Amino acid sequence: MVFEELLSAFAAKYGIEGLDGADGVAELDVEGIRVELLDDPQTHGMLACAEIGHPPPDANGAFGAMMLMANFLLRATEGATLCQNPETNAYAIVRPFQLALTDIASLSAGLESLVNQAENWRKALAGLRVAETAQSQGAATLPDGDSHQGMISSGYFHV
């Protein structure tokens, strides 16, 4: 299957208008998370990318380390990769799809996983911002319900 055909079939099944990918790019809004779908002709694939947000001042420390650990063997990201967009400096999660192996059902499941991961990482990033604010104001501990604690719990390793 080619990029445009897959998007057309996906859009038809779910009643989505304007998801044609004619220029090699398509955007989809899923529960308030914008997913960019990009044709990747070099790999005969497609990339789905969801932005997580911009890093707080100490992001290259704690959050950057969490992202790198989550990327290890792609287990804590369910096959996606956490990265930083060099053009916008925003964090993102990217999931590849092999077009020859992707049908509507696997695309739907993969996008659902990507959106869930993006939502979880957005919460973790927000939790880190709250923790950094608390630390800068002299608080000794992280706030209750800190959303990035245990984020890297994948069954393979724990942080």
- Cβ atoms 93, 104 nearer than 8 A: no
Decide if 159 is inside a domain.
Answer: no
Summarize pLDDT for 12-54 with one digit per residue, the tens: 999 999 888 889 999 999 889 999 999 999 999 999 999 999 8
Give 56 or 100, the one with higher predicted confidence.
100
Return all residues near 57 (Cβ < 8 A) that are at least 6 apart: 132
- Show the 3-state SS of the chain: CCHHHHHHHHHHHHCCCCCCCCCCEEEEEECCEEEEEEEECCCCEEEEEEEEECCCCCCCCHHHHHHHHHHHHHCCCCCCEEEECCCCCCEEEEEEEEHHHCCHHHHHHHHHHHHHHHHHHHHHHHHHHHHHHHHHCCCCCCCCCCCCCCCCCCCCCCC
Percent of the chain at pLDDT above 90?
A: 50
Q: How far apart (Å, rounded) are the C-alpha atoms in residues 66 and 8?
A: 36
Arithmetic mean of pLDDT, 138-142: 52
Decide if 39 is inside a domain.
Answer: yes
Percent of the chain at pLDDT above 70?
A: 80
Decide if 144 is inside a domain.
Answer: no
Nearest to 25 by CA among 39, 44, 13, 12: 39
Q: Which stretch of 8-17, 88-97, 126-135, 142-151 has the lowest confidence by average pLDDT?
A: 142-151
Decide if 145 is inside a domain.
Answer: no
Decide if 142 is inside a domain.
Answer: no
**Domain at 105, CATH number:** 3.30.1460.10
Decide if 153 is inside a domain.
Answer: no
Number of domains in the chain: 1
Domain enclosing residue 132, as ranges: 3-136
Summarize pLDDT for 72-81 with one digit per residue, the tens: 888 888 889 9
Give 135 or 12, the one with higher predicted confidence.
12
Q: How far apart (Å, rounded) are the C-alpha atoms in residues 46 and 34?
A: 16
- Tracing tokens 């104001």 back to the chain, one arrives at 137
Arithmetic mean of pLDDT, 125-144: 65
Mean pLDDT for the chain overall: 82
